Amino acid sequence: MNVRQKPGAAARVNDDIASETRLDLYRRQVEIRDFEKRAYDLFLQNLVKGTSHLSLGQEAIAAGFAVAMKEGDKSFCTYRGHAHTLARGVDMEAVLGELMQRDNGLMRGKGGSMHLTSVDHGVMGSYAIIGAHLPIACGAAWRAQYLGDDDVSVCFFGDGTTNIGAFHEALNFAAVWKLPVVFCCENNLYMEYTPIGEVTAVENPAADRASAYGLESIIVDGNDADAVYRAAEAAFAKARAGEGPSLIECKTYRHSGHSRADPGKYRPEGELEKWLERDPVKVYRARLSEFGFSEKEIAAIERESKAKVDAATEACKGAPPPPDEILATDVYADGGWAWRN
Amino acid sequence: MNVRQKPGAAARVNDDIASETRLDLYRRQVEIRDFEKRAYDLFLQNLVKGTSHLSLGQEAIAAGFAVAMKEGDKSFCTYRGHAHTLARGVDMEAVLGELMQRDNGLMRGKGGSMHLTSVDHGVMGSYAIIGAHLPIACGAAWRAQYLGDDDVSVCFFGDGTTNIGAFHEALNFAAVWKLPVVFCCENNLYMEYTPIGEVTAVENPAADRASAYGLESIIVDGNDADAVYRAAEAAFAKARAGEGPSLIECKTYRHSGHSRADPGKYRPEGELEKWLERDPVKVYRARLSEFGFSEKEIAAIERESKAKVDAATEACKGAPPPPDEILATDVYADGGWAWRN
Amino acid sequence: MAELTYREAVARGIAQELERDERVVFLGEDVAKAGGVFKATVGLYEQFGPKRVRDTPISEQAILGAAMGAAMTGLRPIAEIMFSDFLAVCFDYIANEFPKSRYMSNGQLQCPLVVRTGNGAGSRFGAQHSQSVENWAMMIPGLKVVAPSSPVDVIGLLAAAVRDPDPVVFFEHKSLYGTKGEVPDGEIVDRLGTAKVVRAGSNATILALALMVPRALEAAEKLKAEHGIDAEVIDVRSLVPLDTQTILSSVAKTGRLFTVEENPRLCGWGAEIASIVADEAFYDLDGPVVRITTPHIPLPAADNLEDIVLPTPERIAERVRRAMA
Amino acid sequence: MAELTYREAVARGIAQELERDERVVFLGEDVAKAGGVFKATVGLYEQFGPKRVRDTPISEQAILGAAMGAAMTGLRPIAEIMFSDFLAVCFDYIANEFPKSRYMSNGQLQCPLVVRTGNGAGSRFGAQHSQSVENWAMMIPGLKVVAPSSPVDVIGLLAAAVRDPDPVVFFEHKSLYGTKGEVPDGEIVDRLGTAKVVRAGSNATILALALMVPRALEAAEKLKAEHGIDAEVIDVRSLVPLDTQTILSSVAKTGRLFTVEENPRLCGWGAEIASIVADEAFYDLDGPVVRITTPHIPLPAADNLEDIVLPTPERIAERVRRAMA
Ligand SMILES: Cc1ncc(C[n+]2csc(CCOP(=O)(O)OP(=O)(O)O)c2C)c(N)n1
Ligand SMILES: Cc1ncc(C[n+]2csc(CCOP(=O)(O)OP(=O)(O)O)c2C)c(N)n1
Ligand SMILES: [Mg+2]
Ligand SMILES: [Mg+2]
């Protein structure tokens, strides 16, 4: 069985989503959008340091999954992890503080933007070596299976990641052990600057490989938060029922460059524009109107989001850098770094 | 398109194989068989040292591929590589000498049984870290493509190898670059001591994954040298025509243990017996009779093979161990090992 | 008290920990039903069942990744990588994931797991199945690294490793699996980061690890008997944490240091310890620090060649004698 | 003569070799059409076309494996591994395949290839994108290991590496890409295995590599100006082959050795060289060999923290001064 939802068709099959859920899906998308735009501005001001990988245009995936997750579920993210971290409810100031490498950062500046982690929110780390976290997510799912817990591990990664060895090992392993893990491939059409089709033997890098692991091929419109939410729900239900892993390919597009100041010049003309028409935030705003939400309700969400981002920005600008003494803490579990006596 | 040849059906579709080819296929199988049995005896006498991985029962694959290969084609083998090395025409004494770690060994005892290499015969090494040689075979194929040469690289590996990351990377890479490489999975039903089905998400570990690389699914009766030969021929023709890689899964069974003195106790009762009925050497002997070859012709091949193995054994027993001074040669291209001045 | 082989000690050590703590789980290739390719885990599957002792595909990255994910969420996995040479196919976990997650998360994540692996030469397996690669782990900040030389140390240090809250790479020596030693009854728990003076002496300090420990001891006996040189032999046991105190005190006493390494020469643990001593004990030293190692070459398969490359008791004794002459 | 950045020197070096020899090919992730993530390979695709300059999938094992297969059959591949940290995902080729195939085959196989990789800290990228991992390669018998510190050395040593019949790991320092230097016109070919005395001096020898070279030079100027200590600074350039002659002669002259390493402390190249000197030049040494390194911790992302962990000119000068006091 294939579950394929053509762009546009989703609204019809998702008529029964609860109103609070809809508002929630919108709120998370808007907050991520506002946050990412601000992060970009701050990067241009040299206040966001190191690197930074935005999810502008991919917000529906983070929102759809996060809303479908319950407390205790575990997220495993990549360097492109701001969105998923925020979507799980992690404090915006802490995330921005980490990007700005301040002492109020989520990891006090020790990890940096590529490694956002908030164990309290089930965000079990962001991983910057392509593919590494797919097996790790299997391990967290194994723990749940072993203890009889019903939490699910969710692992987000990009299209380019489907070509690395760890992807293959993890998928087979999860399938053989029937682990409660959901693999979400955010296919944004590019592996950094290279179109995914130029380096991949199949058209749908994740979905066309599902059968290699005995899994069904699932393609979802990644710019439609409802569609993502529904697909995630179904996969979670399957996982919690002990029926093993799922692999979901979300078709999407990133509006900005791969990282930092990448101007994205490798894109064919008109491609971005075409996708901007299907901007997930815009799509979802229209959806809300269509479903009878008032302009006032919608605007309130947007206003609150902007206020949150502004407040976080101010707090971070005022925050000090991390103190020198945390440099060598938490290398080992005793809190220190001593490798000798 | 799937090319599937059910055990037994092969004789019918292979009616047009030339007589010399048939004799050649038989000769190579018999020689490998006799060699492997002798290697086992010598192992029990502690004359074959280290480890050793026999191909008893899998001879049809080595023979079928080698006969289909032309000079210049490259073989990439595993630790279970005696068969493929002999099948390419490498001197039996040199191979046995290597197993016995004598100075007359193919690599003068420096490599050992798991690393048989004879560049002159196109045997570009035997690799003992699972999966490593699949990408390497891609590289050799890339060279052919780059220079416009028409040689093909052939990479042999087991069922268990399909679960490691390098398998996935190599298959995708070969497909994307359309490389003249043929991947041959010898599915002998076991990964060491573990039945392959217990650790693999699909029934046919290679063939069921071909589509993940845009390749056709090919399953061949690996105990029928004709069927293997035909499948190899077709894949080589495709590769030489610039149409890219193939992945062929040969169903087979090893009669002996995984390595050394493994008694193979993990096998269900009757399994070995069932496969012994389809012993490739026996099958092919019957085939020859069926096609009108005389008992005399057949017996001559068998006699010559035994004589060859005996001669090699005697020569190796009499050969000295490698001299100490080769210990530190050929670490670097200057012949030596100096890492400092 | 019982006499056990090093191999049996591995199984007993794992069993002790599986029994003690439900969170301990064990996974690897052919480790369960088959009892391991070195037969070092025989009986565990039968005793603890398929939930706790699990066979895996040939997927070293999945093995270590799964161990890490389980460890960070509450289990205490022991993962087997069959031959230490294969650490190279899953090295990202060893080098980049296990040891950095706690630090990068500012202490939020933990990684309490043990990677057991068959290390070292002597089986005529050739260059890809015989390496000593303790330095591959020692050079990575955030790991702990252990290599026992006797059955009792196998059990005690394995227990310490399993109970340790940090990732530990545990090197078992393939050529020691068949060796025997006395092992007390009951629970055995040792301490990481402690070297052991296995032979007291006053003229020179010889440091060794794993298979090199019995060889260093034999060399010390030779040195005493044939040349009257009384060498102290220290089994380093734990490379990280490193018991520099025991080493530096010994050098302060003897004035000479020799390291005996099986790994190839460059950037081995011997280089690290030699550098520490050459810096911190400079004024204690009566002569150069000498490293006795396998030469910096891949390992040959042939028995006679393999026997030459590894440090032998004769070579150790001769090198020490020459340096002390 | 022209002034080039280190980044431009990489492209020029590769171009020089692509032009010279049809067998030279270049592959890696985003190296062709995009000109590399560090923009170090801009223009090569346009100049040499898609047959010789090729983008690959995110498949580091396939990249290195393909390079090896091509090298053993006659090409001269240059492979890029974007960040040196990622050597961990393809480490089997570095540790077990490239360096052992010639030996195991008794000289039948060859592996003439170059792995270029972006090494080192300074970009605030955090623990998985900032490491200095020269020792990961140096410790493996059979490899050659190079790390240039200036544009002219980039070109000359890269050319030497490409023409070398053995596998070479070529570490480019990310924080040097933007630095400039004079480069003569025409073909430039240097020699592997040669260190360079970049500042002559008589009181102490300071060894440095890559980004640490300019810092050691700055430290030397400070030492001279502020303390009258005249330090000789040697750019090691090539870890394998190692130019021990230049190092040992300098120590014979100065009597003191300091190594300045960016890599974390344990089992670095400094430990190896310190051990060699502590053994072979024991009687030349007037004081302990001192290693100045990044502490043995994962690297922090925050700029102020990252700036503290790497050896700075101030820290180097202070450490030398203290030791010489
Ligand atoms: C093992 C490894 N190889 C290469 C990289 C460099 N790199 C970082 S992001 C990236 C592209 C990933 O593409 P994709 O998986 O599609 O994710 P996206 O960035 O599009 O979200 C690459 C190649 C890396 N981090 N790790
Ligand atoms: C990376 C790696 N992991 C594990 C091993 C140990 N090992 C050697 S052979 C083998 C089984 C291989 O099974 P398969 O691919 O089916 O080949 P077969 O031996 O059956 O021919 C294993 C696990 C290895 N050599 N390399
Ligand atoms: Mg992408
Ligand atoms: Mg098999």
Question: What confidence score (pLDDT) does residue B1 get?
Answer: 38
Distances in Å between the Cα of D297 and the Cα atoms of A88, A135, D131 are 30, 25, 11
Of B131, B142, B329, the CB nearest to D70: B142
Cβ separation of B112 and C124 shorter than 8 Å? Answer: yes
Question: What residues form DSSP beta bridges with C49?
Answer: none
Q: Structural domain tally of chain B? A: 1
Query: For residues D138 and D143, what is the distance between their CA atoms, to the nearest angstrom?
Result: 7
CATH of the domain at A144: 3.40.50.970
Ligand 2 site residues (CB inside 6 A) read B 80, 128-130, 157-161, 186, 188, 190-192, 258; C 29, 58, 60, 82, 86, 89
- Residue A93 forms part of a structural domain: yes
Residues 198-257 of C with CB under 8 A from D: 240
Q: Residue C201: phi, psi to the nearest 5?
A: -165, 170
Confirm or reject: Cβ of A307 under 6 Å from ligand 1: no
Q: Is the CB of residue B123 less than 8 Å from the CB of residue B88?
A: yes
D33 touches chain A (CB under 8 A): yes
Q: Ligand 2 mean position to C66 CA, how many Å?
A: 20
**Tokens 């609150």 belong to residue:** A304
The stretches of B5-151 forming alpha helices (DSSP H) are 10-13, 19-44, 59-68, 82-87, 92-99, 133-147
Q: What per-residue confidence (pLDDT) applies to B262? A: 84
Domain membership of residue B327 (yes or no) is no
Element (H, E) at C240: strand C238-240
| Low-confidence spans in chain D with pLDDT less than 50 | none
Tell me, yes or no, if B164 comes closer than 8 A to chain C by beta carbon. Answer: yes
Q: How far apart are alpha carbons C267 and D318 in whole angstroms?
A: 26
Residue A76 has pLDDT above 50, yes or no: yes
Its domain, for residue A45, covers: 19-320
Distance from C-alpha of A48 to C-alpha of A40, rounded to nearest angstrom: 8
Closest by alpha carbon to C79, among C128, C48, C41, C43?
A: C41
Pairing state between β D238-240 and A3-4? unpaired
Take atom 5 of ligand 2 and give the residue whose Cα is closest. Answer: B130
- How many Å lie between the centroid of ligand 1 and the Cα of residue C96? 16
Distance CA A184, CA A204 (A): 13
CB atoms inside a 10 Å sphere around CB D324: 17
Q: A196 lies in a domain? A: yes
How many Å apart are CA A136 and CA A116, to the nearest integer?
16
Which residue has the CA at smallest separation from atom 25 of ligand 1? A129
Is any Cβ of chain A less than 8 angstroms from the Cβ of B200?
A: yes
Tokens of B181: 């490489």
Ligand sitting nearest the alpha carbon of A258: 1
Looking at residue C242, the DSSP 8-state letter turns out to be B
Task: Give the dihedral sign, CA C180/C183/C189/C191.
Answer: negative
ipTM for this model: 0.98
Task: Sort strands B246-251 and B74-78 into parallel, antiparallel or unpaired.
Answer: unpaired
Nearest-Cα distance to chain D for C80, in Å, is 18
List of residues 6+ apart from C170 with CB closer than 8 A: C114, C115, C116, C117, C146, C147, C148, C157, C158, C161
Closest residue CA from atom 5 of ligand 1:
A130
Is A212 within 8 Å of B201 when comparing Cβ atoms? yes
What CA–CA distance (Å, rounded) separates D119 from C126?
Answer: 32
- Residue numbers in D near A127 (CB within 8 A): 128
Question: How far is C-alpha B119 from the chain's CA centre?
Answer: 16
* Residue A288 forms part of a structural domain: yes
- Asked if the structure places residue B72 within a domain, the reply is yes
Q: Is the CB of A128 under 6 A from ligand 1?
A: yes
Q: Do D291 and C279 touch (CB under 8 A)?
A: yes
Please check whether residue A223 lies inside any domain of the structure.
yes
Establish if D91 touches chain C: CB-CB under 8 angstroms. yes
Flag whether A306 is in a domain: yes
User: What is the count of residue pairs from B and D with beta carbons less than 8 Å apart?
Assistant: 163
Q: How far is CA B16 from the centre of its chain?
A: 25
Check CB contact of B212 with chain D, cutoff 8 Å: no
Nearest to C125 among B51, B326, B327 (CB): B51
Instruction: State whether the beta carbon of D29 lies less than 6 angstroms from ligand 1.
Output: yes
Chains in contact with A via at least 3 Cβ–Cβ pairs below 8 Å: B, C, D
Q: Count CB atoms within 10 A of the CB of residue A333.
A: 15
Per-residue pLDDT tens listing for chain C (325 residues): 899 999 999 999 999 999 999 999 999 999 999 999 999 999 999 999 999 999 999 999 999 999 999 999 999 999 999 999 999 999 999 999 999 999 999 999 999 999 999 999 999 999 999 999 999 999 999 999 999 999 999 999 999 999 999 999 999 999 999 999 999 999 999 999 999 999 999 999 999 999 999 999 999 999 999 999 999 999 999 999 999 999 999 999 999 999 999 999 999 999 999 999 999 999 999 999 999 999 999 999 999 999 999 999 999 999 999 999 9
Does residue A12 belong to the interface with chain C, where contact is any CB pair within 8 Å?
A: no
DSSP state of A221: E
Q: How confident is the model at residue A1 (pLDDT cuts 50, 70, 90)?
A: very low
* A293 pLDDT above the threshold of 60: yes
- Residues D102-111 have pLDDT tens digits of 999 999 999 9
Instruction: Report D:42-71 residues touching C (Cβ under 8 A).
Output: none
Which residue from D112, D166, D114, D116 is spatially nearest to D143, judged by alpha carbons? D166
Q: Are strands D53-55 and D144-146 parallel, antiparallel or unpaired?
A: unpaired
Ligand (nearest to CA of D31): 1
Q: What is the pLDDT of residue B14?
A: 77
Exposed, middle or buried, A302 (CB in 10 Å: 0-12/13-18/19+)? middle
Q: What is the pLDDT of residues D71-121, one digit of tens each?
A: 999 999 999 999 999 999 999 999 999 999 999 999 999 999 999 999 999
Pocket test for ligand 2, best of C29, C58, C61, C85 (most atoms within 8 A of CB): C58
Contact of C27 with chain D, judged by CB distance below 8 Å, is answered with no
Q: Which atom of ligand 1 is nearest to the CA of A80?
A: 21
Predicted confidence band at A15 (pLDDT cuts at 50, 70, 90)? confident
Place of tokens 């974390």: D264
* 8 Å CB contact of C61 and A333: no
Q: Say whether B132 and D51 touch across the interface (CB within 8 A).
A: no
pLDDT 10s digits, B241-267:
999 999 999 999 999 999 877 888 899
3-state SS of chain B: helix, strand, coil percent to 5? 50, 10, 40
Cα(A160) to centroid(ligand 1), Å: 6
E strands, chain B, in order = 3-4, 74-78, 123-127, 153-158, 181-187, 190-191, 194-195, 218-221, 246-251
The answer to whether position A7 is within a domain reads no
Which residue minimizes the CA distance to atom 21 of ligand 2? B158
Positions in chain B whose pLDDT score sits under 70? 1-13
Question: Maximum Cα–Cα distance for chain D, whole Å?
Answer: 60
